[in-house]
Structure 1
Amino acid sequence: MRKKLQLAAGMVIVAITVGICGCLRHSQVEAGTGSMSVRASISSIPSAACPPEVIIIRLTLGGLEVVEELAIVDDSASGLIQSLAAGMWNVDAAAVDGEGDVIYEGKAKVEVARDAVARLPITLNPVPGRIRFVALADGLPEAGSISSAEFWVYHAGGTSAYRSYREVPGSGGRFVVEDSGYVPRSYDLRLVFLREDGSALYESDYIGLGVCPGKKTTVNWAPGFGDLSVEVGFRPCPSAPTDVAVSIDDTHATVSWSPVEGDTIDHHRVYWRYSTQDRYLASRSSAVEAPASSAVVSLSSRQRGSQVRFVVVARDIFGQESLRSDEVSAEYR
């Protein structure tokens, strides 16, 4: 859909390639003899992104401001802005989802000259996500002796913790952490309850979670007869690899899956671990270029007798990673 803003002279042409729809609005500014052509594109995550519904373009110059809300129709959005004052304009672009959250954004500056068209490409990058971790100690042996909790967050690309939260105080056996600035991707969370002397009373298994652009992910953890209850506040990842299957022959495992569709998928990566006390690491992984849908990996002979677990992720040409597939396992004899 294209709609013109009724201004005095000059113009801004905005074109965005995405994939949904919305509506259009504008505000006027007086004076100006320049033009601007802006083209914005979204750098997307294969499966962790909530889809945008509308693009908002905001132009400012001193006390002047132009705002246009662009609908996304047939993978594109465009608008025409006229009568811009000559000068250096600040350009802010944001992609908003159906819940009203900004999930992609980009900034730029462009010089608008008299009786000329200034052209400017803009790339919208994912907005960092937010997390909320809630841990309940009720039901644990010696729960009354717990003085604080630690939350450790990892991702497969790093050997040390991505973030850690130490000496988190509790109230009524409830420990809460909230934070922002999380790069959208999959993470592993581990929880440790501490006694007054600082010794560990209880350590949880690794808990998998995913963070979407501009969204809040909530993980609720509570013990109970060895069970783990996880509640993740994000929509499913339909583009993660599916139909994962595994077979083990001697020291080699053959893993297959239904590949993620899309022209931007660069490769798939298989991760494996030998215990729930392990986490998925880059040192135990194997990558195959798209569109291949299987991989053969070598297992450690020292781990015979264990139940080996596997997940598969997709990575695009921008280096961004999907959420993990469902975990599958096989006995390693």
Structure 2
Amino acid sequence: ALAAAIKSVPSASCAPELVVLTLSMGGLSLRHEMSVEGSSAHGTIQSLAAGKWLIDAVAVDGEGDAVYAGRAKAEVRRDGITPVSVTLRAVEGRIRIQVSAAGVPETMPVHSADLFVYYAGGSSAYRSYKDVREQDGLFVVEDSGYPPRSYDLRVVLKAADGSVLYESEYVGFGVCPGKSTSVDWSPGLGHLQVDVGLILIPSAPADVSVSIDGTQAGVSWTAPADNLAASYRVYWRYSRFDRYTTSRSQQIEAPSAGAVVSLSSQQRGSTVYFVVVARDSSGQESLRSSEVSAEYR
């Protein structure tokens, strides 16, 4: 017999409901299902042939998507019970980005689009999609293999000669474990619609507020109710055409829910934007809080 326990199944955008085990050894293969209770699943598989088995475990949410996955090996001995612990990690997500050129004057026909995706820890674009051509009125990119976290998107619309017609601000979106994120973008409309349907890991801080005195900015927030935050990180930027990076951030250990950050004196006269993220003990960041801003006189 084989006793299998899922030791850690973090929360996903849709909570895992079922763990599906696929066991294989040589030409033998069988499937076993276990219900998820809280953050674990337990079960016993009886009457297995003695030998070395490969165990593939997948946590599935209520929509049937695999959101966490892991693998382990176990040797079943005759007349014995072999305990096995399998740790499941977040499955990479998928994206679909739809860019509409509606709003660009007809006197400047858009020939192609360049799309650049960044994340805060990277010094250059995480992924670039260049010379995307229009299909049915939209410039569309679909891709997979995105680790669950927050990203920034920048769009450049180009004429046939390669000259830039429109360059967007940085726009944020989030990718959740094993899920598809759809981003609809259009220029000059003042908003972005992101369809994600997610549960944060951990939840984002709320009620962020900021005040600036001299070159010091005081930032405060409300801690997430899920109690998963081991620390927080405050990010700031001096323009919407800039992006959030770790070079302009400050980490604060929980349970503190406030920070004082030093601003560059060279940026006086600008509007400074702030977001706060929660970090769990393993370093996973929540999605960002709502952005707040203050005038830097």
Per the shorter chain, which TM-score range? over 0.9
Once the two structures are TM-superposed, the CA of residue 144 in structure 1 deviates from its matched residue by 5.3
Which deviations, in whole Å up to 9, do the C-alpha atoms of 1:152-205 show, x marking residues without a partner?
Answer: 000111110010100111124410000000010000000001112212111011
Q: Which residue of 2 aligns with 1:169?
A: 133
The equivalences for 1:227-238 within 5 A come to: 227-237=189-199
**d(CA) in 2 for partners of 1:144, 1:173:** 15
DSSP-derived class of the 1:283 partner? helix
2:110 to 138, 146, 169: 146
The equivalences for 1:213-232 within 5 A come to: 213-223=177-187, 226-232=188-194
Contact 2:22/2:29 (<8 A) preserved: yes
Q: Which runs of 5+ in 2 are unaligned?
A: none
DSSP-derived class of the 1:190 partner? strand
**d(CA) in 1 for partners of 2:107, 2:85:** 57
**d(CA) in 2 for partners of 1:171, 1:61:** 47
**d(CA) in 1 for partners of 2:126, 2:147:** 10
2:5 to 15, 36, 40: 15
Q: Which residue of 2 aligns with 1:293?
A: 257
Q: Which residue of 2 aligns with 1:127?
A: 91
1:317 equivalent in alignment to 2:284: no
Report percent identity of matched pairs: 56
**d(CA) in 1 for partners of 2:83, 2:39:** 21
**d(CA) in 1 for partners of 2:108, 2:269:** 38
Once the two structures are TM-superposed, the CA of residue 80 in structure 1 deviates from its matched residue by 1.6
Which deviations, in whole Å up to 9, do the C-alpha atoms of 1:87-143 show, x marking residues without a partner?
Answer: 111101111111110000001222222223333321100000000000111220246
1:136 aligned partner, one-letter code: S
**d(CA) in 1 for partners of 2:29, 2:37:** 25
Tell me the TM-score normalised to structure 1 length.
0.84
1:305 equivalent in alignment to 2:295: no
- RMSD between superposed Cα atoms in Å: 1.8
Once the two structures are TM-superposed, the CA of residue 81 in structure 1 deviates from its matched residue by 1.1
Tell me the TM-score normalised to structure 2 length.
0.94
Q: Which residue of 2 aligns with 1:100?
A: 64
1:227 aligned partner, one-letter code: L
Q: Which residue of 2 aligns with 1:63?
A: 27
DSSP-derived class of the 1:169 partner? strand
Once the two structures are TM-superposed, the CA of residue 261 in structure 1 deviates from its matched residue by 4.3
DSSP-derived class of the 2:193 partner? coil
Give the length in aligned residue pairs: 295
Contact 1:246/1:328 (<8 A) preserved: yes
Once the two structures are TM-superposed, the CA of residue 70 in structure 1 deviates from its matched residue by 1.2
Contact 1:50/1:212 (<8 A) preserved: no
**d(CA) in 1 for partners of 2:192, 2:286:** 20
1:97 aligned partner, one-letter code: D
Q: Which deviates more, 291-300 or 237-246?
A: 237-246
2:36 to 35, 52, 72: 72
Q: Which residue of 1 aligns with 2:171?
A: 207
Q: Which deviates more, 67-76 or 251-260?
A: 67-76
Once the two structures are TM-superposed, the CA of residue 264 in structure 1 deviates from its matched residue by 4.5
Residues 129 and 143 of structure 1: CA distance in aligned 2, closer, same or farther (over 3 Å): farther
1:328 equivalent in alignment to 2:280: no
The equivalences for 1:12-51 within 5 A come to: 12-16=2-6, 40-42=7-9, 44=10, 49-51=13-15
**d(CA) in 2 for partners of 1:210, 1:74:** 24
